[in-house]
Amino acid sequence: MSNTKSILELVGVRKVYGSAVAVEGVDLTLHNGEFLTFLGPSGSGKTTTLAMIAGLQMPTEGKILLNGQAVDPLPPYKRNIGMVFQNYALFPHMTVAGNIGFPLEMRGIDAAERKRRIAKTLELIGLPNMGDRYPHQLSGGQQQRVALGRAIVFEPPLLLMDEPLGALDKKLRVQMQLEITRLHRELGISILYVTHDQEEALVMSDRIAVFNEGKIEQLGSAKDLYERPSTAFVAGFLGESNFFHGTVSGISDGRCFMETPYGQLGAFNNASLQVGDKATLAVRPERLFLYRGRDKKPENCVSGTLTDLIYLGQSRKCVLRTANGDEVVALQHAQQVEEPSMNIGEEVCVTWNCADANALNHRAASN
């Protein structure tokens, strides 16, 4: 981020359709030059919130401020916001240069300045010699670049992107993620990005707002949300987690100990928990170690039968089934894979360091 001055503020923004609440009281600040991603499942309210910022939907309640000025009453074309959608919506009868220059023409920019900005934008998006081509002559990735160029050519203070890479294959998506990140860095533009792709959010964002049932469940950096989720929904949606339920039996030095069907298990105390509270422990598969010893079991040990070994190239997924019928997933990096290899049907246990797991309160676990 270039600085901490806010460019966009949402204050108590709410959207209701009849008796259905799509967005419930969202408060949010987007800093100048920040890349903020709305992440969540379908129907969580992220796209509706973006549409209200764009002016495509009107909020039922609340305020939307751009550079400190309320934009609620303004139609989309008067908000001076760049927009890129999954449907590129390029004009088929216009050349690439014509598509990119269209917003400039609508703003009354003279021909010489339009030509200069179009040429500069074509360089930025990596299509310097394609201005005379038409959309049907471009690949999907190239069309996406043109849509991006059209959204930034008039130098808007804010760029909104709604699932812009959803129509591309994985290789192109990864390439465009890097291209958009590079443009964000070079231009210093503020970007509000919507996706349901967790990896995309982790790769590109300064901060992520995780949406669930019309509300922001948690807002923070990618590292904060991944390493220290505040709810079980975030722990389960952003990446993969194993969950163990129990009752808090002790709290010491920032750690929480829980009595569970698997004995006492410990984690980082990530919530306002007290002895006697119902709680959930969340731990990522890559934080688990597989233990085969027959002697004294280590701390935080959950035993089970190895049911699956899945080769993933750079890693291996190990699936255990406990005596209670729970499934536990551990991820081993290629260099961690033991020789001789473990065998399906073998009795093993998983273990972890307390600092690598999170204790969440029971209310958070039920989301």
What gap in Å lies between CA 43 and CA 211, rounded to an integer?
9
pLDDT at 350: 93
Question: pLDDT for 179-194, tens place per residue?
Answer: 899 999 999 999 999 9
**Domain end marker among 230, 254, 278:** 230
- Same-domain status, 309 and 344: yes
pLDDT at 366: 42
For strands 302-311 and 315-321, give the pairing: antiparallel
- Same-domain status, 47 and 17: yes
Quick one: CA dihedral 340, 341, 346, 347, positive or negative? Answer: positive
The CATH number covering residue 290 comes to 2.40.50.140
Question: pLDDT for 92-140, tens place per residue?
Answer: 999 999 999 999 999 999 999 999 999 999 999 999 999 999 999 999 8
Question: pLDDT for 241-260, tens place per residue?
Answer: 999 999 999 999 889 999 99
pLDDT surpasses 80 at 362: no
Helix (H), strand (E), coil (C) string for 195-251: ECCHHHHHHHCCEEEEEECCEEEEEECHHHHHHCCCCHHHHHHCCCCEEEEEEEEEE
- Same-domain status, 170 and 70: yes
For 294-327, b where at least 16 C-beta lie within 10 A, e where not — what string?
Answer: eeeeeebbbbbebeebeeeeebbebbbebeeebe
- Same-domain status, 207 and 249: no
149 against 341, higher pLDDT? 149
pLDDT band at 171 (very low <50, low <70, confident <90, very high): confident
Average pLDDT over residues 55-70: 94
- Same-domain status, 224 and 306: no
Q: In whole angstroms, what separates CA 12 from the centre of its chain?
A: 22
Residue 156 domain-assigned (yes or no): yes
Sequence-distant (6+) residues with CB within 8 A of 112 are: none
- Same-domain status, 158 and 73: yes
Give residue 180's identity as a one-letter amino acid code: I
Percent of the chain with pLDDT over 90: 79
Question: pLDDT for 8-45, tens place per residue?
Answer: 999 999 999 999 999 999 999 999 999 999 999 999 99
pTM over 0.85: yes
Domain interval for residue 143 = 6-230
Tokens encoding 190: 């503020």
Contact 258, 265 (CB under 8 A): yes
Sequence-distant (6+) residues with CB within 8 A of 258 are: 244, 246, 247, 248, 249, 264, 265, 266, 267, 279, 281, 359
Question: 357: which strand partners?
Answer: 283
Contact 131, 97 (CB under 8 A): yes
Average pLDDT over residues 164-178: 86
CA distances from 197 to 17, 83, 200, 347, 364 (A): 26, 19, 5, 35, 22
Q: How many domains, in total, are found in the chain?
A: 2
pLDDT at 128: 94
Tokens encoding 311: 């080769």
Sequence-distant (6+) residues with CB within 8 A of 321 are: 304, 305, 307, 327, 328
Contact 302, 288 (CB under 8 A): no
pLDDT surpasses 70 at 333: yes
- Same-domain status, 56 and 116: yes
Quick one: CA dihedral 144, 207, 184, 160, positive or negative? Answer: positive
Name which of 7-11, 51-55, 230-234, 331-335 the model is least confident about. 331-335
pLDDT surpasses 90 at 319: yes
What gap in Å lies between CA 26 and CA 10, rounded to an integer?
7
Average pLDDT over residues 46-64: 96
pLDDT at 365: 45
What single string gives the DSSP state of each residue in 172-187?
HHHHHHHHHHHHHHHH
Contact 63, 144 (CB under 8 A): no
Residue 1 domain-assigned (yes or no): no
- Same-domain status, 51 and 32: yes
pLDDT at 363: 58
